[in-house]
Structure 1
Amino acid sequence: MPQWSDYTNGQRIKILRGREITQPQLAERCGLSVVTIQKAEQDKVLSLTTLLRIAGALGVDTSVILGQQAPRRAMSMDDRAMLRELSRAVHDSWVGLLPRTVAAPSADELRAAVDACWARYWEGHYAEAGAIVAPLLEAATAHRHEQPHDRQATAWGLISDAHRLAAYVANLMGARDLAYAAIGHAQEAAESAADNMRHALVTSGRAWVYLRDSRLKAALDLAEKSAVDIEPRFSRATPGELVAYGSHVNFAAVVAARLEKKERAKEFLSQSHAAGARLGEEIAAHGTRWGPVSATTQAVGVNVGLGRIGKALALADDIKDVSALSPAAQNRYSMDLALAQAHARQWDASLDTLEETLTKAPEWSRHQVLPGVIVEKVGRASTARLRRVSKLLGVSNPVTGGFDTATEKSAL
């Protein structure tokens, strides 16, 4: 399979344009003639002005067209455009550069917008969530500017929430530099808000960025700190405190499992189960959701990470109903189950689980690494159904899946 650098500039433009947009449509977006686009794709002429305009219209850096870096996997043109707009909003709003048309909504209106954005995120509509976050960042900043200097804590808290959302979307879609910038802004805003809970949530968010950047030890240190900072007294903890603690101590278990620190992972899992049991049902708070079903389904993935495949499958056998989970959490559980089945050499069962999720949630799936890991693992068994599942993933090589050879340790 050719590497991205093996193509010519013209071929890369044509690939990035894809089936979503015709040459005339690209020309219109660039403010160029169709002939200019044709010459660029035929490698006849590509001036600096044409390069910059085409890159902007396609939503990529010029380095991608020039073959100096590959485009992000499964990234559509709409995804790229969303990330560019999100990047602009993250950087510009932080230094106070706001469009003149931005209005300053009330704090209640901003809270409702944050909740709506988290809902889209946990439904697996990441591009839509990112599209909402960009104007949310600007509106939250405008709101803060209207508050007296000594009454800005609430506004800073909302800005922290918006930047944490931006970091989550960017991190999940592979825009690591943007994720680092946004989570850094979220941390500074949480400190200005003097809100210990928000600060701990941001710390856990930074740990997730570290995990996806393969900085595992630093991720574990931050994940543990976040869990300790918000550990409540169970006898008098509010539901919101239990949700935050349960979900974030579970994340600490995930990271510990990636580092093969089995005893610490088991200890964290025990605490996450205790929080879920105390809640008694799935409850949403602080941009996440937790409860007894979440604790059990998440434990499946942690046990796979620990190499306890029998334990993971036994837990899965006891899970009868996951409808209380968010769509994204349901999909993630299915991927953990498919991976456990692949480890157990239950090839057909693994492909059944994977194919069902890919068919049900194609938008969610294309932003995940784990489906490719599963395809690669099952591919070694040479099953007859593998090619169909690979096609759902949008890859041509059923053995490697066309993915970077990412290990399961970084496939969160």
Structure 2
Amino acid sequence: MTTAGQRVKEVRKRRGLTQTELAKASGVSISTIRKLEQGERETARLETLRKLAQALRVPTMRLAGEPRKDDASAETVDRWRAVREALERPPVAPGLDDDPPTLGGVRTALYETEPLFSGDRFAALSVMLPALLRDADALGAEGRSVRVRLLQLAGWLMVQTRQFKAAETALERALDDSADRMEGAATVNTLCWLRLRQGELGKAFDLAVKWADETEPRMSRATPSELATWGWLLLRASAAAVRNSQPGEAEDALKLASAASVALGREYAPDNDFLRVFGPTTVKLKAAENASVTDRPDLVLRLAERIPFSSLKPTSNNRNRHLLDVADAHVKTGNYADAFEKLEQIHADSPEWLPNQRYARDILRRMISRRRTLTAEMRAMADVVGLPL
């Protein structure tokens, strides 16, 4: 199997560029390029590969190669072991359980558990979710709708915590059981996010475009749910395209998503689903994310000034991802105090979410590398995000 460095070297030579010329064209240090090509580093961050791909005029995935495997910490893998087993274990056959679950009981339990998902209460979910998954499976055909919703949430949680194989199992099961196009699209929205986190940018783009085409509503009579569903698929397509060095496709998808948000006129959650909240603010958040991916920190900060944060819940993953983009932009423009303040803000609002974000670790690493001494607060934050000092 070829490494990212071998692929970079191969394309660079085909383009007739020296390492120095590629470094100048891409903005990636010549030291990084040399280490990659000489095999001292197996791969690089997706942001680095995107810059190299843009300079070499190839899709990012041409350099990235194989999708990312599950790379969570041993502690995280152990925490979710029971959830993974519950997702993969065959359900108890009807009649073999002495105290079988009821549809009403499982539906009530799911309703009471949803705030744990929206609030990023990972410790509590690791305890409660395995039994709930087993009970939903034991319901058989009558529990289809409850089971689909639970699998959607479980799949999202597994993506969030980098349990990619388990996420794929949950989401594909939910998609197979979906009753209609809209229910299936809700699952595909998270499945596209899984592909993005795995680095499978082409698959994410194709999947999002296919489902966006199939769910595109007639604007003159579209329901809010149809607009929100279509808009999110377009945002996923834009996210995949911008990471895969396809700026035209990314901009086109973002413009269509913006049109859907304008038609909607507000932030809206289909079926009160916190995973699918969509509207003008969500589009602005994702526009700033695209600017961050393409290394335009000044634009990220300008866009951030137009976003009404008071309308966003502190536990909103989209809000907190955006705050990471803002922190990253502050680091790139040399404003380390404001960058660190954003990390502290996220940690105060979502203490169980932040430790699962490699992006936060990268931001803090770059911040620390520019300082001679560290404050006690920086050392504490390094412990939070799992950054060895």
TM-score (norm 1): 0.67
| Cα deviation 1:329-369 (Å, max 9, x = unaligned) | 33222111111222223222212212222233221111111
User: Would you say the 8 A contact 2:281–2:308 is kept in 1?
Assistant: no
- Distance 1:70-1:283 versus aligned 2 partners, 3 A rule: closer
Query: Residue 311 of structure 1: SS of its match in structure 2?
Result: helix
Cα displacement (A) at 1:94:
5.1
Distance 1:296 1:317 in 2: 10
Q: Is 2:193 the partner of 1:180? A: no
Cα displacement (A) at 1:123:
2.1
Structure 1 counterpart of 2:335, one-letter code: Q
Query: Residue 269 of structure 2: SS of its match in structure 1?
Result: strand
- Distance 1:133-1:382 versus aligned 2 partners, 3 A rule: same
- Residue in structure 1 matched with residue 12 of structure 2 by the alignment: none
Distance 1:80 1:105 in 2: 30
User: Would you say the 8 A contact 1:130–1:166 is kept in 2?
Assistant: no
- Distance 1:392-1:279 versus aligned 2 partners, 3 A rule: same
Cα displacement (A) at 1:217:
1.6
- Residue in structure 2 matched with residue 85 of structure 1 by the alignment: 82
User: Would you say the 8 A contact 2:315–2:349 is kept in 1?
Assistant: no
- Residue in structure 1 matched with residue 388 of structure 2 by the alignment: 402
Structure 2 counterpart of 1:140, one-letter code: A
Q: Is 2:222 the partner of 1:237? A: yes
Q: 2:261 aligns with which of 254, 276, 295?
A: 276
Structure 1 counterpart of 2:205, one-letter code: L
Distance 2:257 2:379 in 1: 35
Cα displacement (A) at 1:293:
1.8
- Residue in structure 2 matched with residue 366 of structure 1 by the alignment: 355
Structure 2 counterpart of 1:201, one-letter code: A
- Distance 1:279-1:396 versus aligned 2 partners, 3 A rule: closer
- Once the two structures are superposed, the pairs formed by residues 69-148 of structure 1 within 5 Å of their partners are 72-73=72-73, 75=75, 80-81=78-79, 83-93=80-90, 96=93, 100-106=98-104, 113-114=109-110, 116-129=112-125, 131-145=127-141, 147=142
Structure 1 counterpart of 2:162, one-letter code: G
Distance 1:226 1:140 in 2: 27
Query: Residue 319 of structure 1: SS of its match in structure 2?
Result: coil
Distance 1:229 1:283 in 2: 21
Distance 1:231 1:358 in 2: 38
Q: 1:207 aligns with which of 184, 192, 210?
A: 192
- Residue in structure 2 matched with residue 256 of structure 1 by the alignment: 241
Cα displacement (A) at 1:390:
4.2
Cα displacement (A) at 1:166:
1.6
Cα displacement (A) at 1:142:
3.4
Distance 1:396 1:138 in 2: 32
Cα displacement (A) at 1:313:
1.4
Cα displacement (A) at 1:118:
4.3
Structure 1 counterpart of 2:341, one-letter code: D
Cα displacement (A) at 1:187:
2.1
User: Would you say the 8 A contact 1:293–1:325 is kept in 2?
Assistant: no
Structure 2 alignment gaps of length 5 or more: 1-68
- Once the two structures are superposed, the pairs formed by residues 283-294 of structure 1 within 5 Å of their partners are 283-285=268-270, 286=273, 287-294=275-282
Query: Residue 221 of structure 2: SS of its match in structure 1?
Result: coil
User: Would you say the 8 A contact 1:334–1:353 is kept in 2?
Assistant: yes
Give the root-mean-square deviation of aligned CA atoms: 3.1
- Residue in structure 2 matched with residue 343 of structure 1 by the alignment: 332
Moved more, 96-105 or 252-261: 96-105
**Count of residues in Structure 1 that have an aligned counterpart in Structure 2:** 316
Query: Residue 318 of structure 1: SS of its match in structure 2?
Result: coil
- Distance 1:375-1:130 versus aligned 2 partners, 3 A rule: same
Q: Which protein, 1 or 2, shows the higher relative CO under an 8 Å CA cutoff with sep ≥ 6?
A: 2
Distance 1:110 1:251 in 2: 32
TM-score (norm 2): 0.71
- Distance 1:368-1:238 versus aligned 2 partners, 3 A rule: same
Distance 2:100 2:130 in 1: 12
Query: Residue 360 of structure 2: SS of its match in structure 1?
Result: helix
User: Would you say the 8 A contact 2:205–2:236 is kept in 1?
Assistant: no
| Cα deviation 1:69-107 (Å, max 9, x = unaligned) | 99933846xx834x222122212355758854341224x
User: Would you say the 8 A contact 2:330–2:338 is kept in 1?
Assistant: yes
Query: Residue 362 of structure 1: SS of its match in structure 2?
Result: coil
Cα displacement (A) at 1:372:
0.5
- Residue in structure 1 matched with residue 55 of structure 2 by the alignment: none
User: Would you say the 8 A contact 2:70–2:163 is kept in 1?
Assistant: no
Query: Residue 343 of structure 2: SS of its match in structure 1?
Result: helix
Distance 1:86 1:356 in 2: 30
Structure 1 alignment gaps of length 5 or more: 1-68, 148-154, 404-412
Distance 1:396 1:243 in 2: 33
Cα displacement (A) at 1:133:
3.9
Distance 2:212 2:325 in 1: 23
Distance 1:94 1:257 in 2: 41
Q: 2:155 aligns with which of 155, 158, 167?
A: 167
Query: Residue 89 of structure 2: SS of its match in structure 1?
Result: helix
User: Would you say the 8 A contact 2:70–2:164 is kept in 1?
Assistant: no
